A and B are shown apart, each in its own frame.
Chain A
């Protein structure tokens, strides 16, 4: 069974940093891209960023709202994806979800979600 388990969320002051982890199991982690999405309280879904699998260069893409502050990385030996969040702002408060992203010749598409971890940025 495919499982994605996020951790690392919590309460953090504006301007500080936080690192989220996403531990994957039930599939060959290195074969897939991984993405992070977020959902502010009572709002819709927002894409945060994406990291390709090593076979496709392991490169990253980011939403403009987080580019330069957030960094996605991966450790294929441990089946973990990370979201390093620096210079946090109150508007980054949200539930953060990691997802598995597959390539099927039809673009990179999300097919599995973690349960989410809440990040609250407040003084």
Chain B
């Protein structure tokens, strides 16, 4: 199975900060990577697929990059509604696997 490792596991940031979350795959996955946002008690929301393509309706403050084994999710200017847990997921091969999540909290 492909292991996905996110860092950091949690971070504290101010409104307006630029935030970057990294995700590393244990082997190359080309660009078969998605990012999801989950708020407490809610279903996840799809943000990005194919490492850098924004899902429909997702604001452009979210961006993704990377290929192979190293990926990043960047939020250009953190807003109150962005405080949540973020997950990366590879879909290069079965079983599809997730990172452990990164909790973004208010500083």
Contact = CB atoms under 8 A, between A and B. Distances in A.
B95 A107 contact: no
B50 interface: yes
Q: Chain B interface mostly helix, strand, loop or mixed?
A: loop
Interface in A39-85: 44-47, 50, 61, 63-64
Contacts of B49: 104, 106, 109-111
A64 B95 CA distance: 8
A46 B45 CA distance: 15
A106 B50 contact: yes
Chain A residues touching B, range: 20 to 34
Contacts of B91: 107-110
Interface in A93-119: 97, 104, 106-116
Contact of A107 (B32, B55, B101): B32
A111 to B, nearest CB: 5
Contacts, number: 63
Interface string B35-72: 01010000111100110010110000000000000000
B97 A47 contact: yes
A111 B31 CA distance: 16
Nearest to A4: B43
Interface residues of B, number: 26
A63 B97 CA distance: 10
A45 B36 contact: yes
Contacts of A108: 91
B100 A44 contact: yes
Contacts of B96: 35, 47, 50
Nearest to B43: A113
Given A47-B89, A97-B44, A107-B50, 18 more contacts: A37-B44, A44-B99, A45-B36, A45-B38, A45-B89, A47-B95, A50-B94, A61-B95, A106-B50, A108-B91, A109-B32, A109-B50, A109-B91, A110-B34, A112-B46, A113-B46, A115-B43, A116-B43
Interface of A: 35, 37, 44-47, 50, 61, 63-64, 97, 104, 106-116
13 contacts: A45-B38, A45-B87, A46-B98, A47-B95, A50-B94, A61-B95, A97-B44, A104-B49, A107-B50, A110-B36, A110-B49, A111-B46, A111-B56
